[in-house]
Structure 1
């Protein structure tokens, strides 16, 4: 029988999942929330008992009106606690979006006000810094068919001098 008191005492980290969707020209799909500033990848919070992939699929269907083709996990980014908000693990799934799908996007008016396709090098002009920092490594992971690990949008140094998490 599990020790429920012990497990209840463990620290918690929140999770989010996002879709890095590229069109045929390599442009990135961004959405504009009504409840906060800036532009973001489609996605959102992982609900209790939900996998990151299931959350990404659910959020895309809710936000875009369809489930895009996803090709794999491009990036996992650990975000530190900020302004009273818990740490978060963000799972970025890469995939594609067709012109027909872009034309059929149906945004939920109470949640999103607009969408745009932008060149990857223009994301930083629209998105929050922690979103923009994640872009180049996520695109590289997608192109290389591997998952990139980040901490607050940056790739940590690995090796004998430093271990993950800052220990020596």
Structure 2
């Protein structure tokens, strides 16, 4: 084997993780924009898988997914949370990046155009109802990100939606 083949075999044997990115959009009242996927139960944030094999970064992925899913081309703001979500029997671990999408104006909401291949609807949800719509790690991740926005603190480091340290 050549050193190139050895390196390729080494890389092929390394652990794999998935990477996702989303944007946290709010209205003037602080409600969070959620989307309803048609491919699974429950609600989500605008976002999805980072196309890392194509050289996409998490920030670029959040922007692309927002444009694809709801038709808004918004440059993501600061990184609010990074969440390591442990793997399951069905999937490897996931690293989820959550960016500030900002406060949208009424005209922005009127301009939303859902990606019909993936989404059924959207809604604005107040903080106290978020975990009913976003159970598990995602709900905790969104609450941690909202806390970062309120406190002005740095990016939240999370594991399964819970703060580390």
| TM beyond 0.5 | yes
Q: 1:58 aligns with which of 54, 64, 77?
A: 64
TM (norm. structure 1) is 0.88
TM-score by length of 2: 0.89
Shift, 1:93, TM fit:
0.3
3-state SS of paired residue (1:89): strand
Per-residue deviation, 1:69: 4.6
Aligned equivalents of 2:74 and 2:28: distance in 1?
Answer: 14
> Do residues 76 (structure 1) and 82 (structure 2) align?
yes
Question: 1:100-139 maps to which residues of 2 (within 5 A)?
Answer: 100-139=107-146
C-alpha separation in 2, matches of 1:106 and 1:74? 25
* Whole-angstrom distance in 2 between the partners of 1:102 and 1:28: 12
Q: Distance between the aligned counterparts of 2:129 and 2:146, measured in 1?
A: 13
Shift in Å at residue 145 of structure 1?
A: 5.0
Alignment partner, residue 148 of structure 1 = 156
Correspondence for 1:162: none
Q: RMSD between aligned alpha carbons?
A: 1.5
Match in the other structure for 1:12: 16
Unaligned runs of 5+ in 1: 158-168
Deviations 1:95-123 (A, max 9, x none): 22221111110001110000001111111
